[in-house]
Amino acid sequence: MLGHSIKTMLAAALSKTALSDALIVGQRRLRGNAFVRAVNYHGTIPAHAQQLERQLAFLAKHFRGVGLTELLALLESGEWPHAKPGLLVTFDDGLRTNFDVARPLLEKYGFTGWFFVPVGFADCATSEQQQYANTHDIRSRFSYDDGRVCMSWSELKELSARHEVGCHTMQHRRMPPSVAPADMRHEIIDAKRVMESRMGREIPTFCWVGGEEENYSALAASLIREAGFRAAFMTSSGVMTRGCNPLQIQRTNIEADWPVDVVKFQICGAMDLLHRTRRTRVNRLTAG
């Protein structure tokens, strides 16, 4: 796995030669427009808003937003009547800064946001949320005066009118094979049921916690299918086209404070090659 400092150096080198830009354009020449990429963010604190806007402005030149209906139509039948490929802009952990900072910028640049929320985090009392984040490996890097760091259910309902809101387990838990079946069922089956009750609508999307290969398991994948999720998100960087499994949407990590050169490097295809072997193993393990 490439460290961030190495990525930054490689990205700068590719940017000087305009190679990353050429590779991004080359993907469209090779594939046409009928493909989607997925990227994932975490927190989007106010101090990073300008940099996030630079990223989204760049991404909007090459991609368009994608909702669930469009995504499934592409993967199932190849339907894609658009002049640009799609980009799924996803956010893990349900952080309040996503609502306050990322949401208006997504809407400014025409992107659909996909927000994945740990149910227990949203259910947590305001006074306990920062401690919850600290003990559940959620990177909350901004403090509000009232102490609330997770989006509220009312904010999530508001988001769902224009964006996609999905399940990120019950307690932000990784699910390697060592997790007991009953606990996995709670993190997937029960989480979907509770989230649907809170939201008052179907929750058709799921996101695994952690992108490490050892934190995927065949049992968890079977429970995602049993729960009836229509799309599930992983983190092994790859392009999605017709025929790809909607329960194996592969994302590439980006963070809001990264330079645009690094964003270009992340989506130019280099990370797809780097993750190819791991992606193949993960997809084989979770295919059912």
Asked if pLDDT for residue 179 goes beyond 80, the answer is yes
Spatial contact of 211 and 235, defined as CB atoms under 8 Å apart: yes
* pLDDT tens per residue, range 44-84: 999 999 999 999 999 999 999 999 999 999 999 999 999 99
The mean pLDDT value for 108-114 works out to: 98
Distance CA 100, CA 160 (A): 15
The mean pLDDT value for 214-224 works out to: 98
Asked if pLDDT for residue 162 goes beyond 60, the answer is yes
Confidence of residue 129 (pLDDT cuts 50, 70, 90): very high
Asked if pLDDT for residue 1 goes beyond 60, the answer is no
Predicted confidence at residue 288, as pLDDT, reads 77
DSSP 8-state symbol, 40 = E
* pLDDT tens per residue, range 24-45: 988 988 899 999 999 999 999 9
Report how far apart, in Å, the C-alpha atoms of 229 and of each of 167, 176, 196, 208 are.
Answer: 9, 19, 12, 12
Confidence of residue 92 (pLDDT cuts 50, 70, 90): very high
Ordered DSSP codes for 230-281: SEEEE-S---B-TT--TT-EE-EE--TTS-HHHHHHHHSSHHHHHTHHHHHH
**Average pLDDT of the chain?**
95
Farthest-apart Cα atoms in the chain, separation: 53
Asked if pLDDT for residue 235 goes beyond 90, the answer is yes
* pLDDT tens per residue, range 237-281: 999 999 999 999 999 999 999 999 999 999 999 899 999 999 999
